[in-house]
Chains A and B, each alone.
Chain A
Amino acid sequence: MNKLQANICLMCVTLLWSTEVIIFACIPNSVEPFATTAITSMIGGVLLCLCFFKRIKNALKNGGWKLLLTGIFLSVLNCSYNVLYQYGLKEFDVSTGAFTISMTVVILPVILMMKKQSVDKKTWISASLVLVGIVVSYLGKLDRISVSGLLVLIGGCIIRAFYIIRLNEAARKYDPVPISAMIAVFVGVISFVIWFFIQPETFAAIEWNTQIIASLVIHAYFIVMFAQTLNIFAQRKATPAASTIIYSMEIIFSLIWGMTMPSSIVTPVTPDVYMLIGAAFIVIGNLSEIVDFKRKAVKG
């Protein structure tokens, strides 16, 4: 996989993540979010293990405990930032929350710098453009921003930044398929434990019907199995900072769904002028990261 292909894969991952809201809309609110995560992650993890049994077995033989611990550590980070996002987002409206989550783009290069790792000038420019986009989107609703919610979300963003850095390191060191399978299985287990504490009846508490089963299966295929594995493969060729910048496109996709999908599926979004300018900055930030201007200039 080359850099262009990695960027295409990351864009696809971002697109798939943005469709999560559409799939979740088909699952009744009575189903706990941890139940959804537990079930879909377990289905995805088990399917990955079945499809790539030999590959995973060999990787575990070679990687041993280190690989297993990496999988567990990544799963813990994954669950932690998701929990913080879930609680933080309750304090925001959908669009502002989505813009705030993109703060990872700015936090990640700072963490890399603190770890004394070099960050491209181009990445700093892209991250700055995305930050400007987020700040502009806040204008006009500063009075509605909850400080506690903001702090919780920033906490989530910091953990997510660490997660992306560690995932990137793991993707370069180990086979992405076993990592993806392990993250799915362990996230499933951790989410199940949390689900059990919140709702001890677990599976019996869900009023099962074909719609719920189909939605969970689709989420397991496309978000857990496909997007997660694709993401780890792409991480091998992309830098953590570049991937985070591409992830920020999720807001743009979410805005498109919010404007085009029926209100029964997605909370309708009528973007104000600030959101549109913010979104434009985010797109420009992405383009400046993805497009290889230097190469073009040489060719030209």
Chain B
Amino acid sequence: MNKKNTPFRLLGLTFVLVAVYLVVSIPFKVMEVIPGFTDIRPVSMLQPVYGIFFGIPGCIAFAVGNLITDIASDSLRWSSIAGFIANFGGPLLFYIYWDRMSRKPFDLKNMKNILRHIIVILVVAVVQAGIITPAVALVYPDVDHMLLFGTIMINSTAFPILLGIPLIIVLQEELGFKTAVKIKKAE
């Protein structure tokens, strides 16, 4: 059966991905895991997953999900615009790397590919911290910028590496998820 990516299907997919994002992120906004260090975001583990497996709809879903979480947790600020851009750009960078820059199809079957994936994660984290931190500094000069930069770096690296890599392995190897990159090349 030819499953074409009609606008209706893509919209449906985006809604589902936003819902999954919210299901994972909302409990962490409610629960204060470490007092004084509340913004722990394991949902960042979904960032490479959304970019690599779902392409542009995944990028939109990740950014919209983050925005809705900000609204739901009463943390919508002017800097959320930068947050939206960074959270759209993060998954997009994974998609661009594996779709345009890498000559090999995406998989995490050997140490070399895993290290390559980790390097992309680090680059994405630096880009995201580089977008959000100056924006927050501009609007809220009294915020501890180094702490904010560190928090974004930890969230955008630790969770995609520690939880995201095993999740990708299971999705790709065991549950048969196809990457957005692969679908494009096949078409």
What residues of chain A have their CB less than 8 Å away from a CB belonging to chain B?
A: 1-2, 4-5, 8-9, 12-13, 15-16, 22, 26, 176, 210-211, 213-215, 217-218, 221-222, 226, 229-230, 233, 261-262, 264-265
- In the complex the two chains form, is A4's CB within 8 Å of B110's CB? yes
- In the complex the two chains form, is A5's CB within 8 Å of B42's CB? no
- In the complex the two chains form, is A1's CB within 8 Å of B166's CB? no
- In the complex the two chains form, is B166's CB within 8 Å of A261's CB? no
Specify which chain B residues have a CB less than 8 angstroms from the CB of A26 in the assembled complex: 31-33
Chain A CB count within 10 A is highest, among B162, B173, B174, for B174
- In chain B between 90 and 119, which residues have their CB closer than 8 angstroms to a CB of chain A? 108-111, 114
Are A233 and B24 also in contact (CB < 8 A) when A12-B163, A214-B31 are? no
- In chain B between 30 and 71, which residues have their CB closer than 8 angstroms to a CB of chain A? 30-35, 42
Number of B positions contacting A (CB below 8 A): 25
- Top 3 nearest A-B pairs (CB, nearest first) are A214-B31, A12-B166, A214-B30
How far is B167's CA from A264's CA once the two chains are assembled, in angstroms?
Answer: 31
What residues of chain B have their CB less than 8 Å away from a CB belonging to chain A?
A: 23-24, 27-28, 30-35, 42, 108-111, 114, 162-163, 165-167, 169-170, 173-174
- In the complex the two chains form, is A5's CB within 8 Å of B30's CB? no
Q: How far is the CB of B111 from chain A (nearest CB, A)?
A: 7
Specify which chain B residues have a CB less than 8 angstroms from the CB of A226 in the assembled complex: 163, 167
- In the complex the two chains form, is B169's CB within 8 Å of A229's CB? no
Instruction: Choose from A221, A230, A261, A265 the contact partner of B170 (Cβ within 8 Å).
Output: A230
- In the complex the two chains form, is A4's CB within 8 Å of B27's CB? no
Specify which chain A residues have a CB less than 8 angstroms from the CB of B35 in the assembled complex: 262, 264
Specify which chain B residues have a CB less than 8 angstroms from the CB of A4 in the assembled complex: 109-111
Specify which chain B residues have a CB less than 8 angstroms from the CB of A213 in the assembled complex: 27, 30
Chain A minimum-CB-distance residue to B23 = A221
Chain A CB count within 10 A is highest, among B23, B32, B165, B169, for B169
- In the complex the two chains form, is A265's CB within 8 Å of B31's CB? no
- In the complex the two chains form, is A214's CB within 8 Å of B163's CB? no
Instruction: Choose from B23, B24, B110, B170 the contact partner of A229 (Cβ within 8 Å).
Output: B170
Interface residues of A: mostly helix, strand, loop or mixed? helix
Specify which chain A residues have a CB less than 8 angstroms from the CB of B165 in the assembled complex: 8, 12
Chain A minimum-CB-distance residue to B174 = A233
Specify which chain A residues have a CB less than 8 angstroms from the CB of B166 in the assembled complex: 8-9, 12-13, 230
How far is B169's CA from A26's CA once the two chains are assembled, in angstroms?
Answer: 30
- In the complex the two chains form, is B30's CB within 8 Å of A2's CB? no
Instruction: Choose from B23, B24, B31, B170 the contact partner of A215 (Cβ within 8 Å).
Output: B31
Specify which chain B residues have a CB less than 8 angstroms from the CB of A22 in the assembled complex: 33
Q: How far is the CB of A53 from chain B (nearest CB, A)?
A: 14
- In the complex the two chains form, is A12's CB within 8 Å of B162's CB? yes
Specify which chain B residues have a CB less than 8 angstroms from the CB of A1 in the assembled complex: 169-170, 173-174
Chain B minimum-CB-distance residue to A9 = B166
Instruction: Choose from B28, B34, B162, B173 the contact partner of A5 (Cβ within 8 Å).
Output: B173
- In the complex the two chains form, is A218's CB within 8 Å of B34's CB? no
How far is B111's CA from A9's CA once the two chains are assembled, in angstroms?
Answer: 14
22 pairs of residues in contact across A and B, judged by CB atoms under 8 Å: A1-B170, A1-B174, A4-B111, A8-B114, A8-B166, A12-B165, A12-B166, A15-B162, A16-B163, A22-B33, A26-B33, A210-B30, A211-B30, A211-B31, A213-B30, A215-B31, A217-B27, A221-B23, A221-B24, A226-B167, A230-B166, A233-B174
Specify which chain B residues have a CB less than 8 angstroms from the CB of A221 in the assembled complex: 23-24, 27
Specify which chain A residues have a CB less than 8 angstroms from the CB of B173 in the assembled complex: 1, 5
How far is B165's CA from A16's CA once the two chains are assembled, in angstroms?
Answer: 14
Starting from the known contacts A215-B31, A233-B174, 9 additional A-B residue pairs (CB-CB under 8 Å) come to A1-B170, A4-B111, A8-B169, A26-B32, A26-B33, A218-B31, A221-B27, A230-B166, A230-B170
